[in-house]
């Protein structure tokens, strides 16, 4: 038998399978359950989902009772 004659081949095959399993597990989307992502200054009752990270953001209006919103120019 070829496998019995070459025990290192069995080890190499096992390592390749393990590396493949770890590669797939590493690509799972992280769970954000239980976390709140706040975007300061958003209007009350508004929110959005970031296109790149898929993280949902909500307004900070329910978490603070101070401060004021101001529009600022992008130009300095």
Domain count, the chain: 2
Choose the most confident range, by mean pLDDT, from 10-14, 28-32, 49-53, 65-69: 49-53
pLDDT at position 48 over 90: yes
Query: Are 58 and 37 contained in the same domain?
Result: yes
pTM (two decimals): 0.48
- CA nearest to 58, candidates 44, 74, 72, 75: 44
Cβ-contact 13, 2 below 8 angstroms = no
57 to 9, 34, 36, 42, 66: CA distances (angstroms): 50, 13, 7, 9, 20
20 to 11, 24, 26: CA distances (angstroms): 14, 6, 10
Sheet holding 56-59, edge to edge: 37-39, 56-59, 47-49
The answer to the question of residue 74 being in a domain is no
The answer to the question of residue 25 being in a domain is yes
Q: What is the mean pLDDT of residues 5-31?
A: 72
């Amino acid at each position: 038998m070829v496998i019995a004659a070459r025990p290192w081949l069995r080890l190499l095959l096992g390592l390749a399978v393990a590396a493949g399993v770890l590669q797939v597990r590493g690509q799972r989307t992280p769970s954000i359950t239980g976390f709140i992502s706040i975007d300061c200054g958003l209007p009350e009752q508004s929110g959005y989902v970031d296109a790149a990270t898929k993280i949902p953001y909500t307004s900070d209006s329910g978490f603070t009772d101070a401060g004021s919103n101001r529009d600022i120019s992008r130009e300095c």
